Amino acid sequence: MKTRTGLAAVVAGMLATAAPGIATAADDVIRIGILNDQSGVFADNGGQGSVAAARLAAEDFGNTVNGMRIEIVNADHQNKADIASATARKWFDSEGVDLIADGAASSAGFAILEAAKERKKIFIVNGPASSDFTGKACSPYSFHFTYDTYALAKITSQAITQAGGNSWYFITADYAFGHALQRDATKFIEAAGGKVLGQAAHPLGTNDFSSFLLQAQSSKAKVVGLATSGRDVQTAIKQAGEFGIVESGQQLAGLLVFITDVKALGVKAAQGLKVTTSFYWDLTDDTRPAPGPSASWRRPAARCRA
């Protein structure tokens, strides 16, 4: 689910105008490392799909840039910060990798970022979502795009709170991404006149959300906010349906849900779920492709700031 042309343009531009002090390729090969989750809860969001997208992006440039051959390598960090850090350092130090992209989980992403800063290499942060990548962890060797917890939280929590959903209970992924998403959402909820009644933190990759959902029901909050993603959010949504969260009168808000998650769940399981998306093709006549071979897309900006 990565944008191949965006990655190609970013990589080409970076290589063509490398800033002073940034280490560049020394062997006529540009090695781009896709370091992400290829076997866990985020494998469907990125995984081997990101690797394929990077290779397609390289092909768009004829697999060369500025006279140098482009080579794509990849590894699975299993959403573990220590593996992400060790892999990034090995790639930079002994395997000639010039740039790392994706990152998947925010916790692993921060570990990759530290390795990139130490070695003055580029890290394209397009898997992790924590707004801290453009906040306290901002670096001259990285940039963050696709989505972040600020934009996701602002749009969803502000709109629902202003529409009357002014009390929230969060079910939150217990690592950097989940904490950042709940933190950012709480600011917008409170600014809109709402309040957070409580939260339950779940471990990564949990298969049983029953205790968390029971706590959310007991809170009597108008909105159950899911500050989680990947297969975890799919599991939470499915089990929320089994517990009758929406049927009992509570709203269910997914703060990071892709259309592919909804398709995987099916209409019944996702009934009543409120989500935010940067673009949906079937929203209006203007966003739908015209019939025939000349079909074109009109895509609005995918970022939101205050």
pTM for this predicted structure: 0.81
Q: Residue 83 above 80 pLDDT?
A: yes
Per-residue pLDDT, averaged over 229-244, amounts to 96
- Tell me the three-class secondary structure of 80-136, residue by residue: CHHHHHHHHHHHHHHCCEEEEEECCCHHHHHHHHHHHHHHCCEEEECCCCCHHHHCC
CATH second-level architecture of 149-275? 3-Layer(aba) Sandwich (3.40)
Give domain limits for the chain.
4-144, 149-275
Per-residue pLDDT, averaged over 262-291, amounts to 84
Q: Which of the four pLDDT bands, split at 50, 70 and 90, describes residue 2?
A: very low
pLDDT value, residue 14: 52
CATH numeric code, 4-144:
3.40.50.2300
Whole-Å CA distances, 73 to 17, 32, 179, 285, 292: 23, 6, 31, 41, 38
Task: Note the pLDDT tens digit of each residue in 11-55.
Answer: 555 554 444 445 555 679 999 999 999 999 999 889 999 999 999
Task: Note the pLDDT tens digit of each residue in 112-138.
Answer: 999 999 999 999 999 999 999 999 999
pLDDT value, residue 295: 41
Q: Which of the four pLDDT bands, split at 50, 70 and 90, describes residue 299?
A: very low
pLDDT value, residue 292: 53
Q: Residue 5 above 60 pLDDT?
A: no
Q: Are strands 251-254 and 273-275 parallel, antiparallel or unpaired?
A: parallel
pLDDT value, residue 11: 55
Q: Residue 294 above 80 pLDDT?
A: no
149-275 and 4-144 share a CATH fold: yes
